[in-house]
């Protein structure tokens, strides 16, 4: 098997649990809607070979490269279009779908402002050919709009003073356009309100909020979940890994609604979380929550 990737394969979160709950078998077809570094997809591919196929979707074109494996189909697109993607692929009988939401650890290495430890331009788009950048949001949104973004997507306790400071900087001709500029602004605001330094970088929630807003991540998952259930065969399973309480709430409520209608069996009454060992080896897994439902 020969694959060409534009970046190294990252350590997939909750891999053992995903494989156990999706239970891929030889000859079955699966879809990974957030291919990323390929860790989950390649592990599933090993279980379904020699005749099964895996469709790997990623909105970030830098993660999708040509490959020489006829059993792996890589598509540069948004997973919210998964129904059309499957129809266009000509592959039927999808037995399982995985959505690993949020930011890939590999993307932190890219100079798009994803990391608050860098100095890159605040782009934050997964696909740089679509939508507006985080810098544009900071340059054009009014105070109330910024507060809403920071509260809804970042659950940021200092949403209002941070938004006020961004607007004040803008009025004085100082636009916030790079990651380090935003970190400095947020850190200054936090020092004003909290004497004790935070264990985590205080800009974490603001970066998360801007990334979610830029890529309409909540909208994408709301749009994709019903499609996923439509394309699965009876007995097929949908697994979703979320890293944000808002995303997890969307998935939880969707599964509950589908269960009430008699369309799914929920296989995870409570979200599956990482073991202590995995959290130690892969800190990104600390906030991961896995929910799985089986189509009736």
User: Which residues touch 223 (CB under 8 Å, ≥6 apart)?
Assistant: 80
| Residue % of the chain over a pLDDT of 90 | 78
Cα 18 to its chain centre, rounded Å, is 16
Helix (H, G, I), strand (E, B) or coil at 147: helix
Residue 2: predicted pLDDT: 34
| Predicted TM-score (pTM) of this structure | 0.90
Give the start-to-end residue ranges of the domains of the chain. Answer: 15-106+217-295, 110-215
Contact status, residue 225 vs residue 254, Cβ threshold 8 Å: yes
Average pLDDT, the chain: 90
- CA–CA gap between residue 262 and residue 73 (Å, rounded): 32
For residue 167 the two structure tokens come to: 């607007």
Residue 3: predicted pLDDT: 39
Confidence of residue 65 (pLDDT cuts 50, 70, 90): low
Q: How confident is the model at residue 5 (pLDDT cuts 50, 70, 90)?
A: very low
Report, at the CATH architecture level, how domain 15-106+217-295 is classified.
3-Layer(aba) Sandwich (3.40)
Q: Average pLDDT of 154-162? A: 97
Q: How far apart are CA 36 and CA 7, in angstroms?
A: 9
Pick the CATH number of 110-215 from 3.40.50.2300, 3.40.50.10800, 1.10.150.170, 1.10.287.470: 1.10.150.170
Residue 243: pLDDT over 80:
yes
């Amino acid at each position: 098997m020969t694959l060409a990737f534009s970046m190294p394969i990252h350590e997939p979160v909750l891999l053992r649990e995903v494989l156990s709950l999706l239970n891929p078998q030889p000859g079955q077809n699966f879809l990974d809607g957030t291919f990323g570094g390929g860790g989950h997809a390649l592990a599933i591919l090993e279980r379904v070979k020699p005749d099964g196929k895996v469709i790997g979707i990623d909105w970030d074109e830098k993660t999708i490269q040509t490959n020489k494996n006829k059993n792996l189909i890589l598509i540069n697109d948004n997973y919210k279009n998964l129904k059309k993607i499957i129809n266009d692929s000509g592959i039927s009988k999808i037995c399982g779908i995985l959505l690993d939401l949020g930011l890939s650890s590999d993307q932190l290495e890219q100079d798009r402002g994803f990391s608050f430890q860098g100095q890159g331009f605040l782009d934050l788009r997964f696909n740089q050919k679509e939508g507006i950048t985080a810098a544009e949001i900071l340059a054009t949104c009014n105070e109330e709009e910024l507060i809403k973004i920071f509260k809804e997507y970042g659950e940021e306790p200092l949403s209002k003073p941070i938004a006020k400071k961004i607007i004040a900087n803008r009025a004085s001709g100082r636009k916030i356009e790079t990651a380090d500029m935003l970190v400095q602004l947020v850190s200054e605001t936090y020092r004003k309100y909290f004497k004790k330094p935070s264990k985590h970088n205080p800009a974490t929630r603001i970066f998360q909020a801007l990334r979610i807003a830029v890529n309409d991540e909540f909208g994408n998952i709301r749009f994709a979940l019903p499609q996923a259930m439509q394309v699965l065969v009876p007995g097929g399973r949908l697994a979703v890994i979320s890293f944000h309480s808002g995303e997890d709430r969307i998935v939880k409520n969707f599964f509950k609604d589908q269960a009430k209608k008699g369309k799914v069996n929920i296989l995870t009454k409570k979200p599956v979380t990482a073991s202590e060992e995995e959290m130690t080896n892969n800190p990104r897994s600390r906030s991961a929550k896995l929910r799985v439902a089986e189509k009736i």
